[in-house]
Structure 1
């Protein structure tokens, strides 16, 4: 069912490296963004199909080097009508993560090809 759908998640690597955020805090940012985008686009047919088989969800977690690259990604997704959530941590007002709703890989892979797998 959900096997041909993927959810891309891009988190800022500099938050861990340069700003010394704990890994758990960064993981929480990705969780917030994923939860928000799934809620925001819950009625979408891709989202519904993705949620039909919870044991086979497919996510790709990538790293953005800094805030600028994350914002550029969010802007490009917005311009091309790719549904996503730019998570901005409050009250600090820090953009930390972008999560796209589930899409067919071939429909959105181009937007994420310049980002490396998160390590």
Structure 2
């Protein structure tokens, strides 16, 4: 793991040519409720099986609700033998994120839960 990235810095990078791959490690239901646009969902429990899917990225930013589990995920990705890019964790997680969130459409008749992204 290389470090933590501040939410405003990540937002600026997402609007540049140097866009990192954002890996949201929450479960799929939490991800559908709200996630950073263009991020991919790779739950922490499945990360060891899916890490090769992100190995080609030059820069990965891991995201979780509060920025704690994403540190663990960033360390796991950086330890992967086939990965040689930069890995950061979003400092403060989605609670610190003030940028846009994308929500996936709920299936018809889905029970509406809290409007929180996590």
In the superposition, the TM-score normalised over structure 1's length comes to 0.28
Greater per-residue helix proportion: 1
Which has the bigger relative contact order, CA under 8 A and spacing at least 6?
1
Q: Please give the TM-score of this superposition, normalised by the length of structure 2.
A: 0.28
